[in-house]
Amino acid sequence: MKNLTLSSKLIISFLVIGLVPMIIIYGVINFYLTREIQKNSSAFLQTAASDTMDKIERNLFERYGDVQAFTANTAVQNHEMWYVKGSENNIIADAMNQYVSLYGIYPLMLAVDLEGKVIAVNDQSANGARLETSYLYDRNFRDATWFKAVMSGRYLRSDALDGTFVEDVYRDEDISRIYGGSKSVISYSAAIRDKKGQIIGVWNNRADIDLVNEIIQSSQEGLSRSGLTTSTFHLIDSTGKVLSEVHAQSAHATVGGAVENLVQKGFSPAIRATRGESGFEEVIDPDTKNKAICGFSKSAGALGYPGLGWAITVHAEKREVMASINATIGYLQAIMGLSVLGLSIFSWWLGRSLTAPVLRMIERLNLIGSECKNASDQLATNSEMLANGASQQAAALEETGSSLEEMTSMTRRNAENTEQVGKTTNQTRITAETGLEKVQAMDSALKQSRQAVEDMRKSVKAMHSSGIEVTKIINTIDEIAFQIIYWR
C-alpha cells in the first residue's frame, strides 16, 4: 500500500466501499431467490398433480351420471327385446351401439335382469367395427361385484350424488377377449327401474382407463413444453397401487399382472398422498435413482362426486427443476459482473477527479518547499558568515582595549615619575596634568569602547541563535514538503 499512488488508494477504497455491500446483497438475494424459486418450482409440480387429479375427477363425475341416464332409455322397458341376440334384432343393443359410438370411451356396455342374465350387449366398437359379444348372452353375472352392489344398494354416495356403483380400476377379461390385448377399465353400474320405480335390472358401463391416461398425458406434455421432459405421473389407488403411469416416452395402465405398489416400496410422496396429504418433497426417482422433486395430491372429488380415494404423484429430475433457478442465478451473476465493471470505471473516474487538484496543490507545495529550503540554506550561510565576522571584530576590539589599558598604566607611571622629579616648571606640570586628564578621558573612552564591543558580541550571538532557529524552521518545512511528495 505504501508504494501506491494517492489515486490508486482512493480507487481501491471506493471499490471496497461499493463491493462489500454489493456482495452482501448478492448473497442474500441469491439465497432467498434460490429458495423461493425452488419452492415455487416444486409447488408447480404439486399444482400440476392437483390440477390433473381435478380434471380426472370431473371426467369421472360425468361417467357417474352417464349410466343413470342410459337406464332411462325407454328401449330397455321393452321386454320383448330382452335376450335377443344381435343389434339388428334388439333395439336395446342397438341403443347401446349408439352410446358406444357417441361417447367413444365405453368398449363394453351390457344390461342384465334381476337374475344376472344378459338382456342386451353392444356388438359394435366406437369406430363401428363388428364385435363378437354374443357369447355373453350365455353368461350370468349374478356373482359379479357390480351386480351384487347395485342389488344391495351399495352406491358411491355423497351429499349431492347417489345411485351409481363405481368399481375401481381392474383388468377386464371380457374386453381382452373381445378386443384382444390387455385392457383396464372402470365399471359404472346403476339400477334399471320400471315406470313404477321398481328395479327390473342392472345397467353396466365399462369405461376404458385410457380416458384417464389421455388427461394425464396432456398434463405431462404441458410439463415437457415447460422444460420438465423427465416428468413422470403415477395415478395410484387408495392403497398405493399404481393404476396408470405416464411419462414422456409412453402412457399405459399398469393394472393386472405384477402390479407396482408405491406405498409398499416406501415412496414417501405416495405414502403421504394415501394419508390424504398434498404437497411436494425431494425424493429419489424409483426408476432412475436420480434426485428428483415430487409433487403429490390426494383426490378430493369434484362437483359432488366423492371419488375413489385416488392420488397422483408427479416427479421430475431435480436438475430440470433447478434449471430455471440456475438460469436466474446466471442472469444475477451477469448483472453483478456489469455492476462491478461499472463501479470500477466510476471509482477510477472519481479517484482521478478528486486527486487531480490535490496533485496540483502538492506540486505547488513541493515547489514552494524547494524555494524555502534554498532560502533557508542561504540564510543559514549568511548568518554563519555574519557571526564569524562579528566574532573577529570583537576580538580586535578586545586587543585594542588591552593596548589602551597598557598605555594608561604607562602614562600613570610617567606622571608619578614626573611628580617625584619635582615640579620643574608650572608649564610642565600643567602640561602633565593636561596630558593626564586626556589619558583619563582616553581610558574612559576605551572602557566605553570595550562595553560597546561586548554588547556587539552579545548581539552577534543572539543573531547566530536566531539563524539556527530559522534553520530548524526551514528543515521542518522541508520535511513537510517531503511527506507531501511521498504520499503522492
Range 185-205 average pLDDT = 95
pLDDT(487) > 60: no
**CA pair distance 395, 401, nearest whole angstrom:** 10
Q: Do the domain assignments include residue 341? A: no
pLDDT(277) > 80: yes
Q: Does residue 67 share a domain with residue 208?
A: yes
- Among 178, 212, 246, residue at a domain's last position: 212
Q: Does residue 389 share a domain with residue 377?
A: yes
Mean predicted lDDT score pLDDT of the chain: 79
Main-chain phi, psi angles of 115, to 5 degrees: -100, -5
What DSSP state is assigned to residue 136?
Answer: G
Q: Do the domain assignments include residue 300? A: yes
Count of C-beta atoms within a 10 Å radius of residue 404: 18
| 3-state class (DSSP) for residue 276 | coil
Domain of 375, CATH number, reads: 1.10.287
Q: Does residue 140 share a domain with residue 33?
A: no
Domain of 156, CATH number, reads: 3.30.450.20
Higher pLDDT, residue 1 or 213: 213
What burial letters (b/e) apply to 228-263, b meaning 16+ CB within 10 Å?
Answer: bebbbbbbbbbebbbbbbbbeeebebbbeeeebebb
- Among 182, 212, 242, residue at a domain's last position: 212
pLDDT(375) > 60: yes
Q: Give per-residue pLDDT as tens, 437-465.
A: 765 766 676 577 567 657 766 765 666 67
What is the per-residue pLDDT for 255?
A: 43
Counting the structural domains of the chain, the total is: 3
Range 306-311 average pLDDT = 92
Q: Do the domain assignments include residue 13? A: yes
Q: Is there a contact between 10 and 351 (Cβ–Cβ < 8 Å)?
A: yes
Q: Do the domain assignments include residue 11? A: yes
| pLDDT band with cut points at 50, 70 and 90 for residue 51 | very high
Domain coverage including residue 125: 63-212
| Reported pTM | 0.59
Q: Do the domain assignments include residue 273? A: yes
What is the per-residue pLDDT for 215?
A: 92
Q: Does residue 195 share a domain with residue 101?
A: yes
What is the per-residue pLDDT for 227?
A: 83
The full DSSP string for 14-83 is HHHHHHHHHHHHHHHHHHHHHHHHHHHHHHHHHHHHHHHHHHHHHHHHHHHHHHHHHHT-GGGG-GGGTT
Percent of the chain with pLDDT over 70: 62
Q: Does residue 380 share a domain with residue 259?
A: no
Q: Does residue 205 share a domain with residue 78?
A: yes
**CA pair distance 31, 397, nearest whole angstrom:** 95
By the 10 Å C-beta count (0-12 exposed, 13-18 middle, 19+ buried), 295 is classed as: buried
pLDDT(145) > 60: yes
Sign of CA dihedral 12, 13, 16, 19: negative
Q: Does residue 135 share a domain with residue 258?
A: no
Grid coordinates given for 284: 429419489
Q: Do the domain assignments include residue 446? A: yes
Q: Does residue 197 share a domain with residue 134?
A: yes
Q: Does residue 127 share a domain with residue 19?
A: no
Q: Are strands 232-236 and 199-208 parallel, antiparallel or unpaired?
A: unpaired
Q: Does residue 230 share a domain with residue 260?
A: yes
Whole-Å CA distances, 182 to 251, 252, 479 = 14, 11, 102
Q: Do the domain assignments include residue 1? A: no
The angle subtended at Cα 58 by Cα 260 and Cα 232, nearest 5°, is 35
Q: Does residue 208 share a domain with residue 68?
A: yes
Q: Do the domain assignments include residue 310? A: no
- Among 166, 191, 212, residue at a domain's last position: 212
pLDDT(58) > 90: yes
Q: Does residue 37 share a domain with residue 169?
A: no
Return the closest-CA partner of residue 172 out of 195, 200, 206.
Answer: 206
